[in-house]
Structure 1
Amino acid sequence: MRMLCSTTLISEFFVVGFAGLVAMKNADLSVGTVWTVCGVVMVLCLLLCGMLGRRGAITVGWALQIGLILSGLAVGTMFFLGAVFAALWWASIHYGRVIDEAKARNAAQSA
Protein backbone atom coordinates (compact mmCIF):
# COMPACT_ATOMS: atom_id res chain seq x y z
CA MET A 1 0.00 0.00 0.00
CA ARG A 2 2.83 2.38 0.84
CA MET A 3 4.26 2.26 -2.68
CA LEU A 4 0.95 3.05 -4.38
CA CYS A 5 0.09 5.84 -1.93
CA SER A 6 3.57 7.33 -2.25
CA THR A 7 3.25 7.37 -6.02
CA THR A 8 -0.04 9.24 -5.74
CA LEU A 9 1.45 11.77 -3.31
CA ILE A 10 4.51 12.42 -5.48
CA SER A 11 2.23 12.99 -8.46
CA GLU A 12 0.19 15.42 -6.37
CA PHE A 13 3.41 17.24 -5.47
CA PHE A 14 3.95 18.08 -9.13
CA VAL A 15 0.30 18.90 -9.79
CA VAL A 16 0.23 21.36 -6.89
CA GLY A 17 3.38 23.00 -8.21
CA PHE A 18 1.86 23.42 -11.66
CA ALA A 19 -1.41 24.67 -10.14
CA GLY A 20 0.65 27.28 -8.30
CA LEU A 21 1.99 28.51 -11.62
CA VAL A 22 -1.55 28.84 -12.94
CA ALA A 23 -2.81 30.49 -9.74
CA MET A 24 -0.11 33.16 -10.00
CA LYS A 25 -1.99 34.61 -12.95
CA ASN A 26 -5.07 35.20 -10.80
CA ALA A 27 -5.10 38.93 -10.01
CA ASP A 28 -7.02 38.35 -6.76
CA LEU A 29 -4.20 36.28 -5.24
CA SER A 30 -0.77 37.53 -4.24
CA VAL A 31 2.24 35.59 -5.44
CA GLY A 32 3.47 35.20 -1.86
CA THR A 33 0.20 33.69 -0.73
CA VAL A 34 0.06 31.30 -3.67
CA TRP A 35 3.57 29.99 -3.10
CA THR A 36 3.19 29.82 0.67
CA VAL A 37 0.10 27.64 0.36
CA CYS A 38 1.52 25.57 -2.50
CA GLY A 39 4.84 25.15 -0.69
CA VAL A 40 3.18 23.93 2.48
CA VAL A 41 1.03 21.45 0.53
CA MET A 42 4.01 20.24 -1.50
CA VAL A 43 6.10 19.68 1.65
CA LEU A 44 3.12 17.91 3.25
CA CYS A 45 2.95 15.56 0.25
CA LEU A 46 6.62 14.67 0.65
CA LEU A 47 6.44 14.26 4.43
CA LEU A 48 3.35 12.12 4.16
CA CYS A 49 5.21 9.72 1.87
CA GLY A 50 7.55 8.92 4.72
CA MET A 51 4.80 8.71 7.31
CA LEU A 52 2.50 6.26 5.53
CA GLY A 53 3.29 3.45 7.95
CA ARG A 54 2.13 5.47 10.96
CA ARG A 55 -1.31 5.83 12.46
CA GLY A 56 -3.35 8.68 11.08
CA ALA A 57 -1.35 9.07 7.87
CA ILE A 58 -4.21 7.83 5.71
CA THR A 59 -6.56 10.30 7.40
CA VAL A 60 -4.14 13.15 6.76
CA GLY A 61 -3.99 11.97 3.16
CA TRP A 62 -7.77 12.20 2.89
CA ALA A 63 -7.65 15.73 4.32
CA LEU A 64 -5.06 16.55 1.67
CA GLN A 65 -7.39 15.20 -1.02
CA ILE A 66 -10.25 17.38 0.24
CA GLY A 67 -7.94 20.39 0.24
CA LEU A 68 -6.88 19.59 -3.31
CA ILE A 69 -10.50 19.52 -4.43
CA LEU A 70 -11.20 22.79 -2.62
CA SER A 71 -8.24 24.41 -4.37
CA GLY A 72 -10.58 24.50 -7.33
CA LEU A 73 -11.90 27.72 -5.80
CA ALA A 74 -8.63 29.37 -6.90
CA VAL A 75 -7.91 27.32 -10.03
CA GLY A 76 -11.07 25.88 -11.59
CA THR A 77 -9.38 22.85 -13.13
CA MET A 78 -8.40 21.65 -9.68
CA PHE A 79 -11.99 20.59 -8.97
CA PHE A 80 -11.55 17.93 -11.64
CA LEU A 81 -7.92 17.08 -10.82
CA GLY A 82 -8.69 16.95 -7.10
CA ALA A 83 -11.50 14.48 -7.74
CA VAL A 84 -9.20 12.37 -9.93
CA PHE A 85 -6.51 12.31 -7.24
CA ALA A 86 -9.08 11.49 -4.55
CA ALA A 87 -10.11 8.49 -6.66
CA LEU A 88 -6.46 7.54 -7.11
CA TRP A 89 -5.91 7.88 -3.35
CA TRP A 90 -8.84 5.55 -2.68
CA ALA A 91 -7.57 3.06 -5.27
CA SER A 92 -4.05 3.20 -3.82
CA ILE A 93 -5.36 2.39 -0.36
CA HIS A 94 -7.84 -0.27 -1.47
CA TYR A 95 -5.67 -2.15 -3.96
CA GLY A 96 -2.55 -1.63 -1.89
CA ARG A 97 -4.18 -3.47 0.99
CA VAL A 98 -5.27 -6.25 -1.37
CA ILE A 99 -1.68 -6.59 -2.61
CA ASP A 100 -0.29 -6.54 0.94
CA GLU A 101 -2.70 -9.30 1.98
CA ALA A 102 -1.73 -11.40 -1.04
CA LYS A 103 1.97 -10.95 -0.24
CA ALA A 104 1.40 -11.98 3.37
CA ARG A 105 -0.61 -15.01 2.26
CA ASN A 106 2.15 -16.08 -0.15
CA ALA A 107 4.84 -15.58 2.50
CA ALA A 108 2.86 -17.72 4.95
CA GLN A 109 2.42 -20.47 2.36
CA SER A 110 6.08 -20.55 1.43
CA ALA A 111 7.21 -20.66 5.08
Structure 2
Amino acid sequence: MRTLCASTLIGEFFVIGFAGLVAMKGDLSAATIWTVCGIGMLLSVLLCGMLSRPGAVQTGWVLQAGLIASGFVVTEMFILGAVFAALWWASVHYGRRIDEAKARWAAQAEPQASAGPDAA
Protein backbone atom coordinates (compact mmCIF):
# COMPACT_ATOMS: atom_id res chain seq x y z
CA MET A 1 0.00 0.00 0.00
CA ARG A 2 2.83 2.36 0.84
CA THR A 3 4.21 2.37 -2.69
CA LEU A 4 0.88 3.15 -4.35
CA CYS A 5 -0.05 5.83 -1.81
CA ALA A 6 3.38 7.44 -1.96
CA SER A 7 3.17 7.61 -5.76
CA THR A 8 -0.18 9.38 -5.50
CA LEU A 9 1.17 11.81 -2.92
CA ILE A 10 4.21 12.69 -5.04
CA GLY A 11 1.88 13.38 -7.97
CA GLU A 12 -0.14 15.65 -5.71
CA PHE A 13 3.03 17.48 -4.69
CA PHE A 14 3.55 18.59 -8.28
CA VAL A 15 -0.12 19.34 -8.91
CA ILE A 16 -0.27 21.57 -5.81
CA GLY A 17 2.81 23.44 -6.99
CA PHE A 18 1.41 23.97 -10.47
CA ALA A 19 -1.94 25.03 -9.01
CA GLY A 20 -0.06 27.66 -7.01
CA LEU A 21 1.40 29.04 -10.22
CA VAL A 22 -2.06 29.21 -11.79
CA ALA A 23 -3.50 30.84 -8.65
CA MET A 24 -0.98 33.67 -9.00
CA LYS A 25 -3.23 35.09 -11.74
CA GLY A 26 -6.03 35.58 -9.21
CA ASP A 27 -6.74 38.16 -6.54
CA LEU A 28 -4.91 36.53 -3.63
CA SER A 29 -1.50 37.70 -2.51
CA ALA A 30 1.56 35.65 -3.41
CA ALA A 31 2.34 35.13 0.28
CA THR A 32 -1.10 33.62 0.92
CA ILE A 33 -0.95 31.37 -2.13
CA TRP A 34 2.53 30.02 -1.40
CA THR A 35 1.86 29.58 2.30
CA VAL A 36 -1.16 27.40 1.57
CA CYS A 37 0.53 25.59 -1.32
CA GLY A 38 3.70 25.12 0.71
CA ILE A 39 1.78 23.54 3.56
CA GLY A 40 -0.01 21.22 1.14
CA MET A 41 3.21 20.28 -0.64
CA LEU A 42 5.03 19.70 2.66
CA LEU A 43 2.15 17.59 3.94
CA SER A 44 2.16 15.43 0.81
CA VAL A 45 5.90 14.75 1.12
CA LEU A 46 5.76 14.12 4.88
CA LEU A 47 2.88 11.70 4.42
CA CYS A 48 5.02 9.62 2.05
CA GLY A 49 7.31 8.80 4.96
CA MET A 50 4.54 8.36 7.50
CA LEU A 51 2.28 5.95 5.61
CA SER A 52 3.02 3.06 7.95
CA ARG A 53 1.97 5.06 11.01
CA PRO A 54 -1.56 5.21 12.42
CA GLY A 55 -3.66 8.06 11.09
CA ALA A 56 -1.63 8.61 7.92
CA VAL A 57 -4.37 7.36 5.59
CA GLN A 58 -6.93 9.56 7.33
CA THR A 59 -4.58 12.54 7.03
CA GLY A 60 -4.31 11.70 3.34
CA TRP A 61 -8.08 11.98 3.08
CA VAL A 62 -7.88 15.43 4.67
CA LEU A 63 -5.34 16.40 2.02
CA GLN A 64 -7.72 15.12 -0.68
CA ALA A 65 -10.54 17.25 0.72
CA GLY A 66 -8.24 20.27 0.74
CA LEU A 67 -7.26 19.60 -2.85
CA ILE A 68 -10.91 19.51 -3.91
CA ALA A 69 -11.67 22.64 -1.87
CA SER A 70 -8.85 24.48 -3.64
CA GLY A 71 -11.21 24.49 -6.61
CA PHE A 72 -12.76 27.62 -5.14
CA VAL A 73 -9.50 29.42 -6.00
CA VAL A 74 -8.47 27.52 -9.14
CA THR A 75 -11.60 26.07 -10.76
CA GLU A 76 -9.75 23.24 -12.48
CA MET A 77 -8.78 21.87 -9.08
CA PHE A 78 -12.33 20.60 -8.56
CA ILE A 79 -11.67 18.09 -11.33
CA LEU A 80 -8.03 17.39 -10.43
CA GLY A 81 -8.94 17.07 -6.75
CA ALA A 82 -11.64 14.54 -7.57
CA VAL A 83 -9.21 12.60 -9.77
CA PHE A 84 -6.61 12.49 -7.02
CA ALA A 85 -9.23 11.52 -4.43
CA ALA A 86 -10.16 8.59 -6.68
CA LEU A 87 -6.48 7.71 -7.07
CA TRP A 88 -6.03 7.90 -3.29
CA TRP A 89 -8.99 5.57 -2.76
CA ALA A 90 -7.62 3.13 -5.34
CA SER A 91 -4.14 3.28 -3.81
CA VAL A 92 -5.47 2.51 -0.34
CA HIS A 93 -7.99 -0.12 -1.46
CA TYR A 94 -5.83 -2.05 -3.90
CA GLY A 95 -2.67 -1.49 -1.87
CA ARG A 96 -4.25 -3.28 1.09
CA ARG A 97 -5.32 -6.12 -1.19
CA ILE A 98 -1.78 -6.45 -2.50
CA ASP A 99 -0.38 -6.42 1.05
CA GLU A 100 -2.82 -9.17 2.07
CA ALA A 101 -1.88 -11.27 -0.97
CA LYS A 102 1.83 -10.84 -0.19
CA ALA A 103 1.23 -11.92 3.41
CA ARG A 104 -0.67 -15.03 2.27
CA TRP A 105 2.06 -15.88 -0.21
CA ALA A 106 4.78 -15.44 2.45
CA ALA A 107 2.83 -17.63 4.88
CA GLN A 108 2.55 -20.38 2.25
CA ALA A 109 6.23 -20.16 1.32
CA GLU A 110 7.42 -20.28 4.94
CA PRO A 111 6.69 -23.99 5.63
CA GLN A 112 8.50 -24.95 2.43
CA ALA A 113 11.54 -22.88 3.35
CA SER A 114 11.74 -24.31 6.88
CA ALA A 115 11.58 -27.89 5.55
CA GLY A 116 14.88 -27.32 3.76
CA PRO A 117 16.06 -28.33 0.30
CA ASP A 118 16.26 -32.06 1.19
CA ALA A 119 12.50 -32.25 1.86
CA ALA A 120 11.65 -32.37 -1.83
Sort the TM-score into its range (normalised by shorter chain).
over 0.9
Q: Distance in 2 between matches of 1:68 and 1:24?
A: 17
SS for the counterpart of 1:25 is coil
1:34-45 equivalences under 5 Å are 34-45=33-44
Displaced runs of 4 or more, over 2 A: none
**TM-score normalised per structure 1:** 0.98
Identity score, percent: 71
Which whole-Å deviations, capped at 9, do the CAs of 1:39-67 have from their partners, x for residues lacking one?
Answer: 11100000000000000001100000000
Distance 2:15 2:97 in 1: 27
Gaps in structure 2 of 5+ consecutive residues: 111-120
Q: How many residues align?
A: 110
Equivalent in the alignment of 1:93: 92
Deviation at 1:70, TM superposition (A): 0.2
Q: How does 1:20-31 map to 2 (within 5 A)?
A: 20-26=20-26, 28-31=27-30
Q: Deviations over 1:3-24 (max 9, x none)?
A: 0000000000000000000000
Q: Which residue of 2 aligns with 1:68?
A: 67
The CA distance in 2 between the partners of 1:40 and 1:57, in whole Å, is 16
Asked if 1:105 corresponds to 2:107, the answer is: no
The runs of 5 or more residues in structure 1 that have no matched partner are none
